[in-house]
Amino acid sequence: MKEFFLSLQNYMYDPDRVYTAMAALLLVTVVGMITGPMHGNANPFLWKLVNGMFGGIGARLDRLQRPAADLSFRGFFLLAVGLFFFFLLGEAAAEFSLEHPLKGLTEVLLLSLAMTGGSVWFALLRLYFAQRDNKVSKGAFYAIAQSTRTDLSSSDGFGITRTGMMFAARAFDRGVVAPVFWFLLAGLPGAYIYACLAGFSWRFGKEGFGKGFGVVPLALEKLAGFVPGAIAGVLLAMAGLFTPTGGMTRALRALGGKKATAAYEQGGWPLTAMAFSLDVSLGGPSVDLDGSAIRRDWVGPENATAQLENGHLRRAIYISLIAHMLFLASLMGALFWAGRLF
C-alpha cells in the first residue's frame, strides 16, 4: 500500500521540486521583509506583469455600457492572450532553469516571481506601527490599498484594519500556497499559468461584483485555486491553535458550514478561517480603485466585532506567520514521506 501511494505521489509531482518551493518561500519572505512592496504593491511580480501588460487595454475594453455577454467575451479573449503568453513564459523559464541551473538557484528565483511573502508583512507592519503611534497617513496604508485594489482614502481606521487582515489571508492563499501547489504538479509553467489567472482575477474580477469582464478569469481561477484554497484555509485554522486567543476548533467547524462564510471570490476558506479563528467580523462593503462598489458579505462568528483595531491586526500578522511556518513544515513532511528529507 505504501508503495502505491509513493508511486502516485511521484506521478503527481517531482519531490525534488519541494526543495525549490521551500527555498523560494524563504527567499520571498526574507527579501520582501527587507525591500518592502515593489512600487507599493505587495502582490507577486507576475501579477504586476499582468497589470502592466493587460491592465490598460483591459480597462479600455471593460465598458459598463456594453452588454454583459459582450464584456464576458472581451474578458475571455484578453485572458486567452494572457494565458498563451504566460504559458510560453513558463516554458521558457523552465528551459532556462535547465540550461543554467546554478545549483538550483535559477529555478528558485524564477518560481519566486509567482509568489509573495515578506512584502505583505512589511506592509501590514507599517500600518501596525503607524496605528500604534497614532500616525496613520496615506503612506501607512498605500501598499495595502494598491495590493487589494481598494480605495481606502475615505475609510475609517476599522475599515483599513479589516482590509489589511483580509489581505493577509488572501495573500497566503493565492500568493504562497496556490503557486507552490501548481509548481509541484506542473513545474514553472503550472505556477506561471496560475499566476496569470490569479493576476487577471485580481485586476478585473472585482471579487465577483463586476458586470462581466472578469467573469471568465474568476471562474477559471476558482477552478485552479479550489484545492490550494482549502489547504490554505485548513492551515490558517490550525494556526489558531498557536495564536493567542485564537480558536482552531471554531475555525475548522466554520469551514464545513455555510453561515457567515466567505465565497471563494471574496476570500473563501482562508478568509473564513481567519475571521472565525480570531473571533472577528471581516468583509463588508468597499469601493475599488476603479470606483466600483464591492458589496462583500460579512464573515465571522455571530456577534463578532467589525470594529477592528491595532491588536486585531497584530494577531492577524501573527496567525499569518504561523500559517507560513505550518506550510513550510508540511512541505518538509512531504519530503519525509517521499524519503527525501534525510
Q: What is the 3-state secondary structure (H, E, C) of 204-266?
A: HCHHHCCCCCCHHHHHHHHHHHHHHHHHHHHHHHHHHHHCCCCCHHHHHHHHCCCCCCCCHHH
**Within a domain: 232:** yes
- Structure confidence at residue 5 (pLDDT): 45
- Is 49 in a helix, a strand, or coil? helix
Nearest Cα residue to 323 out of 260, 258, 231: 231
Q: To the nearest whole percent, how much of the chain has pLDDT over 90?
A: 73
- β-partners of residue 294 are 286
Contact status, residue 197 vs residue 75, Cβ threshold 8 Å? no
- Structure confidence at residue 11 (pLDDT): 45
**Count of domains for the chain:** 1
At 335, the pLDDT band (50, 70, 90 cuts) reads confident
Average pLDDT (41-51) is 96
Average pLDDT (151-171) is 92
Q: What is the DSSP letter of 14?
A: -
Q: What is the pLDDT of residues 273-310, one digit of tens each?
A: 999 999 999 999 999 998 888 999 999 998 899 999 99
**Within a domain: 342:** no
**Within a domain: 271:** yes
User: How many Å apart are CA 20 and CA 267, to the nearest integer?
Assistant: 27
Q: Is the pLDDT of residue 2 over 70?
A: no
Q: Is the pLDDT of residue 6 over 70?
A: no
Mean pLDDT lowest among 165-169, 203-207, 257-261, 315-319: 257-261
At 155, the pLDDT band (50, 70, 90 cuts) reads confident
Q: Interhelix angle for 268-278 vs 215-239, to 10°?
A: 30
Average pLDDT (17-42) is 93
Quote the domain boundaries for residue 210: 15-337
CB proximity list for 292: less than 8 A, separation 6 or greater? 206, 209, 210
**Within a domain: 199:** yes
**Within a domain: 303:** yes
CB proximity list for 251: less than 8 A, separation 6 or greater? 236, 237, 240, 272, 273, 274, 276, 277
**Within a domain: 326:** yes
The pTM for the full model equals 0.92
- β-partners of residue 288 are 150
CA angle 255, 43, 33 (to 5 degrees): 100
At 256, the pLDDT band (50, 70, 90 cuts) reads confident
- Structure confidence at residue 327 (pLDDT): 96
User: How many Å apart are CA 257 and CA 143, to the nearest integer?
Assistant: 33
Average pLDDT, the chain: 90
**Within a domain: 185:** yes
Q: Is the pLDDT of residue 10 over 60?
A: no
- Structure confidence at residue 154 (pLDDT): 82
Q: Is the pLDDT of residue 66 over 90?
A: no
User: How many Å apart are CA 252 and CA 265, to the nearest integer?
Assistant: 20
Q: Is the pLDDT of residue 118 over 90?
A: yes
Q: To the nearest whole percent, how much of the chain has pLDDT over 70?
A: 94
Phi/psi for 218 (5° steps) reads -65, -45
Q: Is the pLDDT of residue 116 over 50?
A: yes
**Within a domain: 114:** yes
